[in-house]
A and B are shown apart, each in its own frame.
Chain A
Amino acid sequence: MPTTLPSLPATVPTEWYLAVSAVLFAIGTAGVFLRKNALTIFMSVELMLNAVNLSFVAFSRQFGQFDGQILVFFVMAVAAAEVAVGLAIMIDIFRSRHSVDIDDVSWLRG
């Protein structure tokens, strides 16, 4: 068992990672369109964010710079902040409407 990992050869091309990222992004988009539960829509948005993160890291490895990975770091921080505030909003909406169905909160009144 080697003590250090071997160097990563240039085997999996960047385009493959981009293709996986594209498919996952599209699946997340479908989730935002198709679901009525606000929490499931939230999870689909998180899926889209992660797909973009994957693209960032793939390009970071491609061009040999760390800027992509640092951007992923910031995207994760912003996503965490967004989830916290978004869920707090949903809890507040649930208190008055007793539902997180987006069809029930489609009117601004109330």
Chain B
Amino acid sequence: MEFLVFIVVAAVAVAASIMVVLQRNAMYSALFLVLAFFCFAVFYVLLGAYFLAVVQVAVYAGAIMVLMLFVIMLLNVAQPEPPDRRLGMLRPFGAIVAAVLVFELLAAVGRSYVSPAAGAAAAVPTPAAAAGATLASSTLRPATAAATATPAAGQLTVGAATAGHTQLLAATLFTRYLFPFEVTSVLLLGAILGATILARKRPEVA
């Protein structure tokens, strides 16, 4: 069943991505990209990253693509592109390079052997069970009964606590990766300032 979902979603994602690249109308490209983002969210659910799937839909499909669609409609650039003028001769080389890249990447993936981790080899690689075996920075010991155990009632207790995926992710994020988290917030502040200053109307010079 999981294989079937994976195959179907992978086919839809690849088809949507090809349509993003090939569509002449930027609006259609954006909508196909939203479809591709939803396919990525399904992949994250298949991989057990439920929080990331929700964040993918909320941030990428819900915020970034909406912003892009606003700009596309604001600048009115949704017309089909005119034929190439100067670099027309070099365009096919881009397709050739991309095809070579696909071949190389698939060859690298096919020739490699991703060995399973020692702690997770015997058990099924669910986030709860695997994180309990190898999570070094947290003292959570989530129950290994179910993959999506309900989160504890606000308390992170050592021992027989049941923790959901979001809770485990947050436990690592706010302990080991606290400094990058704070730096990211400063980065977002800089982005807000930069975008506001760049996009404001300039006063007309007399």
A-side residues, CB < 8 A to B, are: 4-20, 22-31, 33-37, 39-40, 42-44, 46-47, 50, 53-54, 57-67, 69-70, 72-74, 76-85, 87-92, 94-95, 100-101, 103
Partner of A84, one of B49, B67, B101, B110: B67
CB neighbours (8 Å) of B75 from chain A are 39, 90-91, 94, 100
Q: Contacts A12-B3, A66-B168 hold; do A83 and B68 have CB atoms under 8 A apart?
A: yes
Q: Are A36 and B2 in contact (CB under 8 A)?
A: no
CB neighbours (8 Å) of A64 from chain B are 117, 119-120, 125, 127, 129-131, 133-134
Q: Closest chain B residue to A94 by CB distance? A: B75
B interface majority secondary structure: helix
Q: Are B101 and A76 in contact (CB under 8 A)?
A: no
Q: Are A63 and B192 in contact (CB under 8 A)?
A: no
Q: Apart from A7-B147, A80-B64, A80-B191, what 10 extra A-B contacts exist at CB < 8 Å? A: A5-B146, A11-B3, A14-B114, A17-B47, A22-B102, A35-B21, A39-B75, A47-B36, A91-B74, A92-B198
Tell me the bound Cα distance from A47 to B34 in angstroms.
Answer: 10
Partner of B40, one of A34, A37, A50, A88: A50
Q: Are B109 and A15 in contact (CB under 8 A)?
A: yes
CB neighbours (8 Å) of B192 from chain A are 84
Tell me the bound Cα distance from A73 to B84 in angstroms.
Answer: 38
Q: Are A88 and B198 in contact (CB under 8 A)?
A: yes
